[in-house]
Structure 1
């Protein structure tokens, strides 16, 4: 049994609240009995060095952690404090590989050849151990035009790779700032909610940029028994003195 949390889209530096939201989410996660913590992108908002300095301190955790960049991040600044942009956790009974889907200067996602090669290599290491693959950009349309136009490009490249690794149990992403459960390449696809804000569907709002900052930050709590993934989505209600 593996229990791990996934947060996404902290956007440190985008507002004063970004730091406080991230701090309180991480404080909450530290009260849980987790095997690992994942952070699926958009760590910083403007990719400034000082934003990553703050993020590195806020995200520090004694448990195994993997972090990948998003479209708001910059690889050089990310790597200085948060490590390589492709990161893998090799737990006793589970592999979690977070890949870099960011494209410098653009908001859409793409898995470069070298990233797919890295992912293929990680997944080939322990073919008898279940694995999850994660990245920032969702590989499918989510029904939110604002997000769908900057989703992962050429997702069939990822689907082809996954088809060669039958021990992969699911795909985990961020980017959309909303909790989503779907399917991709015959596998469960979970999109983590946002820490900084929540993106709404056109059923809920007519705004051109459908983002709410009034809803609380949230995270995904994944429970995997070796065969089936169960995900709980939990808000973190902010406390102010």
Structure 2
């Protein structure tokens, strides 16, 4: 059995609460009773992609278990990201499970795309241990969530991802962020799980002025994935 936490959209530097909210979540995760194998952060680490924001994030994202991250659409500074947090594509090889987080960001844009480099990297990682299950993660959801604004900036050219998933029968699911709300669906017969936001929470699919209303007062939240016997179960929890 593997148990791993999944957070997203911490947006360091966006508001005065971005740091204390992230601190609260990491403290909670680090104090969880029982087993936790890893912590995943699926993008929008910094809000303005400033080097100092990534340095703050590096200090915050500390744990006794492995922490892996990938960029989001706000992470438009790969040099600063890499200097503080490591490569934009990161893989975690647990004894019985592989987790691969790829860069789906596009320069100057809010929608996402898995380019040739990211797909080739994923292809290589997934092929290393084909007999072990694997999860693929990135920032932008590859499915429509029923939220028009978010759906307008989702992952583009999803068929490229689908072709990759079909080639690798060991993939057990897809993990993303970006929407600031928990959601789930399927792609290529696999579960797609969207982590809730840390900085803010999307309130409703009904849009106002082309944006989804969000709350900065609701508590930050995370997804807790339990994977056993080829089956994924996800719990969504607020951090009060």
TM-score bracket, normalised by the shorter chain, equals over 0.9
Q: Deviations over 1:116-139 (max 9, x none)?
A: 000000000000000000000000
> What corresponds to 1:12 in structure 2?
12
- Structure 2 residue 36 is matched with structure 1 residue 38: no
SS in 2 for 1:55: helix
CA distance in structure 1 between the aligned counterparts of 2:79 and 2:14, rounded to whole angstroms: 19
1:54 to 37, 53, 56: 56
Question: Unaligned regions of 5+ residues in structure 2, if any?
Answer: none
8 Å CA contact 1:130–1:226 kept in 2: the answer is no
Whether the 8 Å contact between 2:37 and 2:66 is mirrored in structure 1 is: yes
Secondary structure at the aligned position of 1:79 is classed as helix
Is 1:139 the counterpart of 2:146? The answer is: no
1:214 offset after TM fit, Å?
A: 1.8
Distance 1:14 1:194, change over 3 A: same
Tell whether 2:102 aligns with 1:99: yes
| Pair 1:67-2:69 in alignment | yes
Quote the Cα distance in structure 2 between the aligned partners of 1:202 and 1:113: 32
Q: What is the number of residues matched between the two proteins? A: 236
Aligned residues of 1:144 and 1:200 also touching (Cα < 8 A): no
- 3-state SS, counterpart of residue 190 of structure 1: strand
Distance, in Å, in 2 between the alignment partners of 1:128 and 1:47 is 38
How far apart, in 1, do the equivalents of 2:190 and 2:138 lie?
15
Q: TM-score w.r.t. structure 1 length?
A: 0.95
Native 8 Å contact 2:61 2:67 kept in 1: no
Q: Distance in 2 between matches of 1:178 and 1:223?
A: 19
* Match runs of 1:1-241 below 5 Å: 1-32=1-32, 33-73=35-75, 74-202=77-205, 206=208, 208-209=210-211, 210-237=213-240
Q: Distance in 2 between matches of 1:214 and 1:136?
A: 23
Deviation (angstroms), 1:208? 4.0
- Shift of residue 206 of structure 1? 4.9
Give the secondary structure class of the aligned counterpart of 1:16. Answer: coil
RMSD: 1.1
Deviating more after overlay: 142-151 vs 188-197: 142-151
Scaled by the length of structure 2, the TM-score of the pair is 0.96
> Is the contact between residue 30 and residue 64 of structure 2 (CA under 8 Å) also seen in structure 1?
no
Return 5+ residue gaps in structure 1 as ranges: none
Query: Partner of 2:53: helix, strand, or coil?
Result: helix
Q: Which range moved further: 221-230 or 58-67?
A: 58-67
SS at match of 2:17: helix
Following superposition, the deviation at residue 62 of structure 1 comes to 2.2
Counterpart of 1:27 in 2: which secondary structure? helix
The whole-number CA distance in structure 2 between the counterparts of 1:104 and 1:222 is 31
Q: Distance in 2 between matches of 1:109 and 1:178?
A: 18
Cα displacement (A) at 1:186: 0.8
